[in-house]
Amino acid sequence: MSSPEQRGDAIIFESVRLCRGGSCTLDNVSARVPRGSNTVLVGPNGAGKTSLLLCLLGELRHEGRIRLVPLTDGSSPRLALVPQQLALDPHTPLLVQEFLCLGTDRWPLWLGCRKNILSKASQALAQVGAAHLLKAHMGQLSGGELRRVLLAAALLRKPDILVLDEAEAGVDVRGEQLFWQTLDEARRTLGFTQLMVSHNLSLAAHYASHVICLNKRVQAEGPPRLCLGATQLLRLFGLPIHLYPEQCEQDVPECPECGAFSHTEELVHTGEESQTKEARNA
């Protein structure tokens, strides 16, 4: 079996620009998403990560080109999105099983969900470890449960490309870890390409196979070990962040009051200095 990298690219961003009123959210972004990969978009707030996803989904008009590479049989890839939130009034009486039927079946809900769709829906829920939620109300789900249901809804579409916009945000540490793990297992089983925006760098380092560091422009792109190194993260976030122990060159001082390692003003200052130095060297 060929590795994901040998199977070529699923998405190619070519000089994507998104500018309005003189300021650019995306400036000449060129990047690739390898087929079958788990590609994670990282960057600070306002870096244009969600905008890039919206351009991909055709929601924002942009300059440049975004190519969805056709599948081996020549057909266009099928997209699915796991959004961050739903605009659902908590009192709307929408059941999880109905929500899953909504996205997959055109048979109207007022005539009931069809049996075959229901069985597919419960399979998809089982796949994300949420089989018990089938008859729950959407408005009463916890943050973690909602993420799983949204993932199940996206998987039901049998996507070739799964797009996630900070889908794990607002979930506790354990929930987030479980979400990434479930996602990773689903990707390996179903073989889709995954493109996600995330702020969790350590989980990205562990689960991603390809990383795009974005801050209006692509700052780095490649395997996580290369892109999420201390130098790249300092340049991206302006803060010393060490995901790999051997890169902890800086002696991080602990807080005199609580004893924890924190990004004190001094550290931020150091970060800015290093950034300026790097920029000068460049």
Partner 1 sequence: MPDFAPLYALLGCLPFDCLQLRFMQQALLALLLLAPLAAILGVHVVNCRMAFFSDAIGHSAFAGVALGLLTGFSPLWSMPLFGLAAGLAIMAVQQKARLAADTAIGIVFSAVVALGLVIVSRAGGANRDVQGFLYGDILTISQGEIGCLALLLILGIVFQFFAYNRLFLLAVNPVMARAHGIRGALWQYLFAGLLSLVVMFAVRGVGVLLVTALLIVPAATARNLAASAGSMFWWALLVGLVSAVVGLLLSAQPWLATSSGATIILTSCLCFALSCLWGSLRASRKML
Nearest to 186 by CA among 212, 162, 210: 162
Residue 200 CB, nearest distance to partner 1 (Å)? 22
CB 118 → partner 1: shortest distance, Å? 12
Alpha helices in 88-142 (DSSP H): 96-104, 115-127
- Footprint of partner 1 (CB under 8 A): 54, 57-59, 79-81, 83, 85-88, 91-95, 98-99, 101-103, 105-113, 157, 163
Return all residues near 103 (Cβ < 8 A) that are at least 6 apart.
153, 156, 157
Q: In whole angstroms, how close is the CB of 211 to partner 1 at the nearest point?
A: 23
Residue 216 DSSP symbol = S
Residue pair 134/97 in contact by the 8 Å Cβ criterion: yes
Would you say 59 or 272 has its CB closer to partner 1?
A: 59
Beta carbon nearer to partner 1, 53 or 233: 53
Residue 129 CA to residue 123 CA, distance in Å, equals 10
Q: Considering beta carbons, is residue 94 or 169 the nearer one to partner 1?
A: 94
Identity of the residue, 18 or 213, whose beta carbon is nearer to partner 1 in the bound complex = 18
Which residue lies nearer to partner 1 by CB, 160 or 234? 160
DSSP H helix total and E strand total for the chain = 9, 9
Residue 163 backbone dihedrals phi, psi, to 5 degrees: -110, 130
Output the smallest distance, CB 267 to partner 1, in A.
Answer: 37
User: Min. distance of Cβ 220 from partner 1 in angstroms?
Assistant: 27
Residues 156-177 as b/e (b if ≥16 CB within 10 A, e otherwise) read bbebbbbbbbbbbeebeeebbb
Taking the complex as a whole, how short is the minimal distance between the CB of residue 24 and partner 1, in angstroms?
18
Nearer Cβ to partner 1 (99/192): 99
Enter the DSSP assignment of 95: B
